[in-house]
Amino acid sequence: MKFRTGRLTALAAVALSATLGLAACGSSDDSSSGSSGSGGSSDATVTFIPKNLGNPYFDASDGGGKKAVAAFGGTYDEVGPDTATPDGQVQYINTATQQGVSAIVISADDPSAPCDALKQAMSAGIKVVTFDSDTSADCRDLFVNQASAEGIAKTQVDLIAKQIGGSGEVAILSAAANATNQNAWIKQMKSYAAEKYPNLDIVDTVYGNDDDQTSFDKTAALLSDHPNLKGIISPTTVGIAAAARYLSTSSAKGKVALTGLGTPNQMRKYVKNGTVTSFALWNPEDLGYLAAYTADALVSGEIKGDQGDTFTAGDLGKYTVGADGEVLLGDPYVFTKSNIDKFNF
């Protein structure tokens, strides 16, 4: 997979400086006049809209986007809601459309709530790229997918199965109930678990809304509602960090296993103190970087977005548009005590 630690360090520095440069909330306008990278149109204005601001995952992914936009010489902006609610992104899409940006790059909180606004943007000539969490296919030009849903699901179920010896009660602590990405992964996790681990029962799915406190409270409720619980899968970076924080000071530490999708920087201390054995993720910086270059390839006319179209995404190299307008980043990566210190995002 495209997961190069050398580049990670540089990207982490960019992500950090992007984060530090952000206003507490709202917009981080930044015009760049860097040198032209491979395949770039050089003057695209690209607005990133994350599911929510203040989520370290999107600080990292949008930081990767900012680096890409600087490399091809465009103008980067990031705006978005504070909470991941279904229609919270609509006003930011409308503003970007009024501003006449070249492209909107969005991780959607809901598959359909932002659709009317995105369709208006597209009819105004704006290229729309979803990344991380897709909309319905008719509301965007392309979707930059971090990894296949099957791969993400299988990785997490195999991790929890290994940690609990293949049998027992497991619960899922997800993000928002409408999140396209988590819902696709949960569906695949349930069918894969039923087939591969007949003695592993997924007994509950709860939603922390990608909010730290809600996710923390939902973890406490899961433990009291299911006294025989052996494991939790949290396929969201906010959820797994909050669940780890709860477990780390509770009597369930070391007894109830926890895995899912997390960032190494948020999870490091819980891996080191024995609350968590292993978890997974892709490189969110690479994901944002690829999404920005995908937008630029559409804006410049290098690609139309048809299946089989190819383009170069700066340092990441060449990509091909697959079926259903998808561009795939790579495979999930598993973090453990023995490799976590190699990563900084």
What does the binding site for ligand RAM look like in residue numbers (CB under 6 A)? 51, 55, 57, 107, 132-133, 175, 179, 181, 210, 236-238, 261
* Residue with smaller CB distance to ligand RAM, 307 or 336: 336
* Residue with smaller CB distance to ligand RAM, 212 or 302: 212
Give least dist CB 205 to ligand RAM, A. 14
Residue with structure tokens 């040198």?
35
Q: How many Cβ atoms are within 10 Å of 101's Cβ, its own excluded?
A: 23
> Among 176, 189, 97, 98, which residue's Cα sits nearest to residue 149?
189
Give least dist CB 244 to ligand RAM, A. 14
* Residue with smaller CB distance to ligand RAM, 102 or 237: 237
Residue pair 52/110 in contact by the 8 Å Cβ criterion: no
Give least dist CB 300 to ligand RAM, A. 28
Residue nearest to ligand RAM (CB): 57
Give least dist CB 287 to ligand RAM, A. 9
> CB neighbours of 227 closer than 8 A, spacing ≥ 6?
none
* Residue with smaller CB distance to ligand RAM, 57 or 72: 57
* Residue with smaller CB distance to ligand RAM, 141 or 210: 210
* Residue with smaller CB distance to ligand RAM, 209 or 275: 209
> Among 123, 103, 109, which residue's Cα sits nearest to residue 292?
103
For residue 301, what are the CA distances in angstroms to 128, 270, 307?
14, 46, 15
DSSP 193-227: HHHH-TTEEEEEEEE-TT-HHHHHHHHHHHHHH-T
DSSP 18-60: HHHHS-SSS---EE------TT--S--EEEEE-SSTT-HHHHH
* Residue with smaller CB distance to ligand RAM, 280 or 297: 280
Give least dist CB 51 to ligand RAM, A. 5
Distance CA 90, CA 114 (A): 5
* Residue with smaller CB distance to ligand RAM, 45 or 182: 182
Amino acid at 77: D
Residue pair 272/337 in contact by the 8 Å Cβ criterion: yes
Give least dist CB 302 to ligand RAM, A. 27
Give least dist CB 268 to ligand RAM, A. 16
* Residue with smaller CB distance to ligand RAM, 70 or 292: 292
Helix (H) / strand (E) element for 287: namely helix 284-300
200 strand-pairing partners? 168
> What is the dihedral angle through the alpha carbons of 157, 161, 164, 166, rounded to the nearest 10 degrees?
140
Give least dist CB 87 to ligand RAM, A. 17
DSSP 232-260: EEE-SHHHHHHHHHHHHTSTTTTTSEEEE
Give least dist CB 282 to ligand RAM, A. 9
